[in-house]
Structure 1
């Protein structure tokens, strides 16, 4: 005849089921990983203390989520469900924020299990459970499916929905065929054993699954160390099955094996239960001596547990008393310090007011000083601008005077000396007509004089025609620059090429003269300083702009080295370009030639 199920035995099976399916997500944070392992092996007190020490640390979002989840498990274990509930929700929110939906759904299951255990309203836990089930049905991963259906089976059995629980176990076992998950398989075995022994009264079937589970737990040394509590519970559960089968000998053997397991957590309660169960088995077997001994041990551990519970209660009362006493002291201290605080606020206010007033005075003084410096700077800028304008005007006046002087000389040469030479040439022409009347020696003298007069006349004529300072009045800027390049080019030593574009019409005579003088000065610099063999003068007239690029393959120079000096006349050219409203750019380094770029607006 099958005996009635021991209520305490059922509690151990349910606890084991809950532990067996606790989800594990290892963290990159080594401290959290070790704490998670401690929880998995049943060391909840140690894990909670470690978590409390880490509460002020900065975590990444994934680690913060795991931290909240692990702390929730510890509070749940210590029957502090309200704290556990809020921490579970915080962890779920963080997991959803980092797209870790699997973990969020696992927390749904933990919430449902915890709320059901506290006999909350079904609507409280069903919403989490329904969401968990809906997500599970969408999962395509066999390993995940086996884990989740096993969890649901445990939950349904715990809510006494046995048919649904068995159905979920079958689904879990089906998906285990397609994935390697021995831990889940082992946990399914222990929960099936719970089902058969507690609810279906089939201890033989329970033994089959318990022995299968024990082979898994003890088949690996590392696993055996981690699952000490589960091994102990397995032996106790086997003993229960043998007890219901009236096989007290095997029941006692299993209980002694359970007693020899080196537990780390809940030692007193587990020992008390083992000794109570040994007492009942010896009593049923008729061995009253051993039954009495284990009854005494059971009472001893029961008293120890009561004493421990009393000590805990006394400590709690003392802690509350000390807290209340401290609160009263704090209230007295607050009243005592209230007047001091008011005086401190007054003195602080006065001090702050003085600091603010002083700061405003200092700020006003600095502002006046800043305004004074700005006015001085503006005056200096005005003076510099006036000086610059004066320099530019001086250059203009000088160039204009030079041009007028050249023109005056050219006009004088053309009008006065030119006329005189022309008249002198006519007179000699008349003498040449009468040369037959002269002697041979005089004839030669006349011919030589005539040749000299002709040469002088042509030179004066050329000077007069050059009255536009090198820019030929009848040809314009480009022909003048081209002839300049031809004259200063030396075959085999220096070749200067002119590349014009867009000069279809003549420019203003003054601008043509200015450009010619600039190009002439830069070409002279090439001859004197660059040691170049090739040079190019690019002139481009586009819309309302003139671009001049003069480049050579000479030795180049250091731009910084010529700053502050005359710079081969470059500063004068730069000032003239600036006066014309243009820009003057030099690109030169020693050994890499020189390129000068000038842009002039029309």
Structure 2
């Protein structure tokens, strides 16, 4: 019962689909303006007959676009979607030709909505809907965005995604408040009421929006006179909400208010509906006498509507017959002129065929030439890629070789020279046991020699343990770079600061080694070439990115003069950073220091 009781609310949703274009199209032709009003009020048969009478008239470009659009709407309402589709596309093309992009994009929504309703065309509607959404969001116009989200809400409700529909309606209301459009906001309130009572089962929430809509409709006497039909519908819909809340007394009171409203359109259908609903409420309340009386009234109006529908159908058939008769007359007239022009068409066709063949031959030759150039370009790109891969591979091999050589030297220091120094120290310790037998001068010589051996042993031991090429396994990247900065800083000549941020956890060992080598090489370049007195190494680890900034106050250099063959110089570092998927930026001029920025994704 409730689904049927809210037929006016469901009708409002369909009406909302047409708000965009039908509300904004401007026409200088009074006939088209009248037809547009007929369609808005649901009189599609009347509108179709009026459009047929205007067929063949000379319209301005905007009116021609509007004519095709209105005719498409009539065909769509008459379930002739194939004809409507072609007319919608024609109207869209005409609007684009006169730079009415807003109207063309609105037609995209009409196309999407029509195709979405057809099972076989559901896969085709997305391209029109996506184009409409992208254009509307790009405009950043609150009014257009409100219409966009209201229309998307209708799509979601049609696919029974009610919560998403509710969210889109609320987004639409947000933008309507910005654009100050109470008329459209009131329409959305009606749709929210429908959604709450029909699909979400919340009649109390529906009442909130219905009462808000009623306040808008009756805000002043002028608006109340203009919206007399909508006021009647509002009363009926509030009665439906109270029916669902089992408050039949309130439902009957609102139905009586609706019955007293002096509507002019669809009087029979509205009365029939009100009396049927009165009968249902009285029956539910246990007042069977009144229920019976309203059931009789409902039947009386139902019979009247059937007779009226038959008359409308007969008139529609007569209109179609007259239209077909006129089309046959036009066909006969065209047939008389056809023989006179047939030869002209033949000669013109032969001429065009010859031109077309020549054009195709020329186009084919150009196409082959273009394909040849593309193939050559692809080969060049493949060669360049192979060369780049080779260069990057060479850098990897060189770095790997350096790392292995460092480890080999460390192992040799530890295994050979380290053990020799250890043996020497033991032997020297034995000699120290006999130092009491020596003179004072010889004792001092032994002690000095012992200190030198101890110092040499500790240095070799430290070198041997540096197997991760500066990135100590028990310390990590930041301590290694900090120690590097301390070692190469010279008080009074060059001070290097290290500023780390976000390195709360260790990175992968191979990556730490690569980063350390890059920083080490750049620090070496500062010492060798920059003549700087101060430098700073900034290291930042944020989310999945690492940022390294190395800046100095040195003499700077000319970027154009970089030597591409300088081994592990800036060019090689830049290629290594690129291989890691990062970016390498140099900001320098002569006399103004140098800043190098490295960004690496993890």
TM value normalised by structure 2: 0.50
TM value normalised by structure 1: 0.50
- Which protein has the larger Cα radius of gyration, Structure 1 or Structure 2? 1
